[in-house]
Structures are given as C-alpha cells and as structure tokens.
Structure 1
Amino acid sequence: MIQNQAKKALFARSFQLLLLGQIISILGSALLRFGLSLYALDLTGRADIFGTLYALSSIPLLLSPIGGAIADRFNRRHLIVIFDFASCMVVLGFMLLLAADHATVVVIGIVMVLLSLISAMYQPAVQASIPLLVQESRLEQANGMVNGIGALAQMAAPVLGGILYGVLGLQTLIIGSGIAFLLSAVMQLFIKIPFVQREQKRNIVATLAADMKVGFAYVAQQRSILKAMIIAALLNFILTPFFVVGGPIILRVTMQSSDTLYGVGMGIVECSTILGALTIGIFAKKMRMSTLYRWLLIIAALILPLSMSLTPWMLGLGCYPAYVLFLASVVPIAMALTIISIFVLTRVQKQTPNDLLGKVMAIIMAVAQIAAPVGQIVYGKLFETFSLQVYFPALLMFGAMLLMAWVTKRFYQNQIEEGQEDARENVEKRYRKE
C-alpha cells in the first residue's frame, strides 16, 4: 500500500519535471527559431527569405514517425535528455560560427532545420511517456497541459523573441536558448519513466524500418484509431487554417481594425486555444466518442454568427460591432477545437499498447500536420477569390463542419461504449511477434 502510494507520488513528480522541461525546451526552441529568422531578415532585407526559412524549419516535423519508432525502441527518458543536449550542442556550434563571422543565411537555415528535426524526434518521446506518468483518469488533463504549453510557446515566441532580439541582440538570445536546453536536459535526468528493453535481432536501421512498418500497419488495421486520425486531420484541414489564414485577413483587411485591435484580436484567438487545453479536464468526463458529433454541431452553429459578422450589413455598422461578434464566436470555437483534438488523441493513447504508442501518436500527428498546410492553401485561394464576400468562406466552413459531424456520427453510431476497440488483443499479439 505504502509502496503504491510512493510510486504514484514519484510519477506525479516525474510528470511535473517533464512538464517544466517542456516549458523551457519548447519556448527556447521557438524563441531561437524566430530570432534566427529575424537575423536572416536583417542580413538580407528580404521578407521572402524570412518567411521561407521559418516555413522550411517546420518541414522536418513530418519525420516524426521516425521519432515515434525511436521512442518505442529506446529508453524515453534517455532520449529526452539526449535531444535536449543535442539542441544545446547545435546552439553552441552556431554561437561559435557567429563569433567567427561565418553565420550566413545558409548556416542559419541549417541550424533551424536541425532544431526542428530534433523537435520532431523529441515530441513523440514526450507524448508516449505521458500515459506512463499519470493516472488514466487524469490523462486528458495532462495532455491538455502539454498541448497548452506548446500553444503558449507558439504564441509567445514572435512577441517575446522580437523583444529580446531587439533589446538584447541575437547573441544574448542564443546564449539564453542554450542555457534553457541545458537546464531542461539536467532536469529530465531526474524523471523516472518505466522502460522494458525489447529484443533487437537486426541492425538499428532495419529494426526502425520494421517498427515503422508495424506502426503504419497497426493504424491501418485498427479502425478506431484510423477514425480518430481522420477526425484529427479533418479538424486541421477545416478549422485550424481558417484562423491561421482568415484571422489576419478578416481583422486587418476586412474589418480595417487598428494595430491595437488587430493585436488584441489575434491574442484572444491564441488565448482561447490555451484556455481550451487547460479546461479539457472539466469536459473530458462527460465526453464520448459516440456523441462527439454533437460538439461538431455546436461548432457549426457558432460559425453562423461568425459568418454574420462578415456580411456587408454588419460591416456597415462600423468596426466594433462586427469585431465583437466575430471574436465572441471565435473564442468558443477555438476552445472546442482544442478540447476535441486533445480528447481524440487521448482516446488513442488509452487504447494503444505501450510498445506501439510512440509510433501511433507520431503517425497521427504527422498526418494532421500535413492536412493543415493543404487547408491553408485552400483558404488562401478562397479569401483571394471572395475578397469582397468574406462571409462565403465562412459559410463553406459551416457546410464542411455539418458534413464532418454527419461522418463522425456514422463512424460511431454502432459503438456501444467509448472503450470499444476492434479486437485489439488479437491484433496486438500478431504485431508483438514482429
């Protein structure tokens, strides 16, 4: 009894250390990437290079399935520590090049890609560790905290990075990021993550390739996981790009808002995402996969007043009425989007065996990440085509959400209880033989 209580306390402490390390590491990486982009802008004076470098640094995130295979094969605590130390070494190397006046645009691009690649390996190890460090009943809340940290880092990086870069300069920003990575690595040494060494019959490359094949096959065979991946991808295709692409266009161009109102509006959107992540624990107890379509219908209903705020009649009343109605609709939509995303991913975590967890989570995240830029391109074309009728893309989003709600209801209409799986035990035994 005492031993079990000590074990729970130990795991709680380990999760706290993991969470604190995430704050330091993710924020340090985001700050450095943004600071390097600004430095490239100062070197060249070209906004296209600034944007290209920042975009290229996100491409390695698509390699996260490899990170998932690594996370399932090796000690996850060791991996987290190694990746933080690797980031620290990359930062140190760049600092030396900067001191020697060899920090060219190409070098900056390489550093940003390396940091992003390390992040692609790092995140699956963290995601796969969470179910081992918290009680199952608190898994949604734990995932919400981790996702909230990621969203906060992405929101704070452009603001804080710009301030630090302007006031302290790139060199100080680099030193600060290096210290952050080192501090995170040292902290993670004290985490206790259960690990069972798996037998390795082939060389590491062949083993990882086989593991990835197993992961993709498992996702394809498990219909419940495949459905969850489709839902996550659709959310990233339909909703997320609307705020990323449409938010700035609507607030800045359509509503002609001031710099202050624009900044406040975008900040409210970002804060809504964080609020959704932090309140997932309140809603998760009442959520079921079989009734998930109701949440999607609520989002669809909220899109109607959002669309109304973009009509010529509403815009004719002045900036403030349309601005307030738009944000009043966006806040609950952004919160619901985050809550649904975390809930769906948590269901996958709960039903996936530990030795497949890293691969499965990484595959789902990679597919969702691929869907987002596709959606951004589509919305970019829509807002360009209907620049004078911006309510039309919003109405299309309304129709897409109704269709998604119908698809989701069909997915789970025969599901009696949320824990139902597709003969998981038999599938698991077959894949364990690999």
Structure 2
Amino acid sequence: MEQKSFTRFIIVWIGQLLSGIGSGMTAFAFGIQVYEQTNSAAGFASILLASFMPSILLGPLGGILADRFDRRVMIIIGDAGAAVSVLFLLLNCLSGRLSLWYILPGVAAGSAFSALQVPAYKASLSDLLSESEYAKAGGLVQLASSARHLLSPVAAGILLSLSGIINILLLDIASFIIAVAAVFALPGKNRRIKTGLTLHLSGALKESRLCLSENSGVKQVVYKLAAVTFFAGCIQVLITPMLLFITDTKTLGIIQSISASGMVAGSIFVSLFGLKIPPLRVLHLGLIAGGASLSLLGTSTNLFFITITFFLFYLTLPFINTSAEVWIRNRITNERQGRIWGIVSFTSQSGYLAAYVTAGFLSDKVFSPLLSENGVLSDSIGRVIGTGPGRGSAFILVLCGLGMIITSLYRSGGVEKGEKNEIKIPV
C-alpha cells in the first residue's frame, strides 16, 4: 500500500516539477525584461515582490481551504488559475504591451492562485505517505524546486536569444496543463463532512496562530526559516544586477544553472539517504555552511569563484529546508496539515517580502554610493571586496551570510526539548 501511495506521489511530483521549470523560465525572462527597462535593482525587485506577496498574504486562507475541501481540487484550481495568468501575459506580449505595469498584474495573479496550490500540495503529502517517507519525499520536493533554478535560467536564456519570450510563455502554459492532469493521481476526499473543521475562516486562522504560539519549538524553527528566506530573497534581488555589471545575460543564465546544480545534488542526497542525524542539527549545520558560502560570494568579482560559492550556498538549502519541514510535519496532525502549513508558509516566507522591499533600495541608495570609487567605505571595506558598480549589492550579500551564521547560533529551550519528543501538536 505504501508503494502504491508513493507511486501516486511521484506522478503528482512530476507534474509539479514540469510546471515549476516552466514558471522559472517565465520568471527569468520577465526579470531580464524589467531590469533592461529600468536598469535598477529596485525595479527588478518589484517583479519578485509581485510574484511572492499575494501567495504569502493569501497562504493562510489557502491552508484553511486545503483542510475544508478536496485538496486535489484546490491544486487543480491553483494550477489552472496560474495558467490563465500566464495566458494574460502572453496576450500582452502579442499586442506589444511589455511595460512593467502590464507585467505586474499577470505575475501577481499567478502568485495569488499559487496560494491555493501550495498548501494543498504540501498537505496532500500526508495523505499519500507514511512518516518514514517524509524525508525522502521532502528531498524530491526540494529537487523539483532546484530543477527550476537549474534548468530554467539556461533554457530561458537560450530561448530568449533564439525566439524571444513568446515561446517561453507557451511552454509555461503547457507545463501547467500537464501538472493539472497529473493531480488526478491524488485520491479525492471531501473534507467538509469532517467534524471540528467547520470553523469560520477567522476562527481557523486564530486557532492556527494559537497552535504555533503555544509550541515554542515549532515557532522558533519557523522564525529561523523566515530569516533564511530573507537572506535568500536578498540574493534573488541582488545577484542578477550584480552579475550583469560584469557579464552578459547568457553567462548569467549559465552561472545560475551551474550554481543551482548544488541544490540538485543536495536534494538527490536527501531523497536517497534521508537525514542521518537529528533534523535540528542538520538545520544548524546547514545555516553555518550556507552563511559562510554567501559571505564569500560577496567578496569577489571572479566569475569562477562566484559560481563555486553560489553552488555551495545552493547545496545547503535542501538540508535546511527538508530538516525544518520534517521536524515541523512530525508535530502536526494530518487533519490540520493544510491550515498549519498555510500559517507556517505565511510566517516563514515573509522574509522574502522584507527582502524584496528593502534589498533593492539598500543597494541602489545606500551601499552602492558608499562603495563607489570615492565612497565613504571605499578605503576600508572597499579594499577587501572592491569598489564600483555592483559592489554595494555584494556587501549586502556578505552581511546576509554573517546573518545566517548568527541565526544558527540561537538555540531555544523549546526547540531542544522538541527534538527529544516526537509528539504531534495537539490541535
């Protein structure tokens, strides 16, 4: 029975893998488009903000719906809605409307529909898998995410140079169609008949927040994830403008793809072997290694060195994410998986929002002037990491790496106690 369930998971996973690659190609293409229009890290960040803010803000609502209704239907609605948003972008491209103000609504709409899809998809893993399979499945989920970072940039870079953005959008729509078809492998369940789940939305949100606040161990792990997403968000905002000062679009795509292969390697390792040491120890070691790699990345303009350190940073992410997810999942009862994951996603991914709002501004208006050739920091920090265009962004990455290391050093009594007790949260 477990093999049959895991086979169903693999079918759904393949669909989500393909749709993730398609979405990654679209995101890369529009990111380049907007940066070339605005020549600003803040302008580039606006696309990232539009792609994440709706899904984060609506995530708790999506989680509640995933517990109240058929999770399969929620995933289908989310994927189908995202496909319609890409179709909107395609029609704008065909009519020649490629300005930022036409791109942002389509990107934001796709993000809003993902708020239905993501909590339902994560919660459905508990429908299909046994607890012993969580780590391996988590590794495969991370592998799908890493494939987006590995394959999408280089594929989008090639297609942009050969045929433009239209074919990228067509492939993205096709990937969503495949994902919707794959979701039918999930068992259909009508969750409205379950007792105890007929709470009003506000009551369900309050219950979920109370659940996290009363469990200090889970809460502290979620806060650590929020810090990680802030640092990861900063690198998403800053790496493209930083590298485009020293290389071209094609090379940028190659560097991002090679670097993301680190995430693939880490994901494959976790999916094959699971976690051999306690999850919290994996989490803290991953934070230290990832922070060191990120700080080193910001110290150089050598493309080979940047690629290696970027690779090492990506290598740590599957261990960080999977260890935290396994630790949290083992403490949530199945009938509350959707709503709790909605709150967890909202809290942890709020770090992305903070990064998208602040990183571009800090780079353009604060650190880039400080690290210009005659800037205030040119004779101090500038002697170590260099001065001129892109070095303000690089210094922010150095600070982010140090922040990851500091995050790993904070230990909570509730977390350490939770590591020893494998009892699920009573909600």
Question: Which residue identity lines up with residue 227 of structure 1 in the other structure?
Answer: Q
SS where residue 192 of structure 1 aligns? coil
**How much does 1:12 deviate?**
1.7
For the 8 Å contact 1:61–1:120, the answer to whether it is kept is yes
Matched, 1:366 2:346: yes
Pick which of 113-122 and 388-397 moved more.
Answer: 388-397
The corresponding residue for 2:330 is: 350
Q: Give the aligned partner of residue 374 of structure 2.
A: none
- 1:46-85 per-residue CA deviation (whole Å, 9 max, x = no partner) reads 5567764454233212221211111111111122123233
- Partners of 1:167 and 1:292 lie apart in 2 by 43
Task: Spell out, residue by residue over 1:122-174, the C-alpha distance to the aligned partner (whole angstroms, 9 max, x if none).
Answer: 11111111122223222122122112212322443344234335534555444
- Distance in 2 (CA, whole Å) between partners of 1:250 and 1:398 is 16
SS state at 1:190 partner: coil
Distance in 2 separating the partners of 1:64 and 1:95: 26
Report what 2:407 is aligned to: 404
How far has the Cα of 1:117 moved from its partner?
1.1
Matched, 1:306 2:296: yes
Answer yes or no: is 1:417 the counterpart of 2:412: no
Structure 1 residues 295, 75: CA separation in 2 closer, same or farther (over 3 Å shift)? Answer: same
Mapped to 1, the partners of 2:409 and 2:81 lie a distance apart of 46
- Partner of 2:200, secondary structure, is helix
Q: Is the 8 A contact 1:140 1:281 kept in 2?
A: yes
In the comparison of the two structures, how many residue pairs are matched? 400
1:298 to partner: Cα distance = 4.6
Alpha-carbon shift at residue 293 of structure 1 (Å): 7.0
Task: Map residues 24-423 of structure 1 onto 2, 5 A cutoff.
Answer: 24-35=18-29, 52-53=46-47, 55-62=49-56, 63-91=58-86, 101=95, 105=99, 106-192=101-187, 196-199=191-194, 207-238=200-231, 240-241=232-233, 243-244=235-236, 247=239, 264-281=254-271, 284-289=274-279, 291-292=281-282, 295=285, 298-299=288-289, 302=292, 306=296, 310=299, 319=302, 323-324=304-305, 328-375=308-355, 377=358, 380=363, 381-382=366-367, 385=370, 386=377, 388=382, 389-390=384-385, 396-397=399-400, 399-408=402-411, 412-414=415-417, 417=420, 419=422
Report the equivalent of 1:8.
2
CA distance in 2, matches of 1:28, 1:258: 22
Taking the aligned partners of 1:171 and 1:344, their CA distance within structure 2 comes to 38
Q: Which amino acid aligns with 2:321?
A: S
Give the counterpart letter for 1:215 in structure 2.
S
**SS of alignment partner, residue 79 of structure 2:** helix
Q: Structure 1 pair 347/90, CA: closer, same or farther in 2 (3 Å)? A: same
CA 1:357–1:97 in structure 2 vs 1: closer, same or farther (change >3 Å)? same
Rg comparison, structure with higher value: 1
Matched letter for residue 219 of structure 2: L
The separation in 2 between residues aligned to 1:264 and 1:186, in whole angstroms, is 31
**Identity score, percent:** 18
- CA apart distance, 1:249: 7.0
Structure 1 unaligned regions, length at least 5: 1-6, 429-434
1:171–1:341 CA distance, 2 compared to 1 (3 A)? closer
Aligned pair in 2 of structure 1 residues 200, 295: CA closer, same or farther (>3 Å)? same
Superposed CA RMSD in Å reads 4.0
- Structure 1: distance between partners of 2:336 and 2:176: 28
CA contact (8 A) 1:152 1:274 kept: yes
C-alpha contact (below 8 Å) 2:63/2:119 kept by paired residues: yes
- 1:23 — aligned with what? 17
Give unmatched runs, 5+ long, in structure 2: 371-376, 386-393
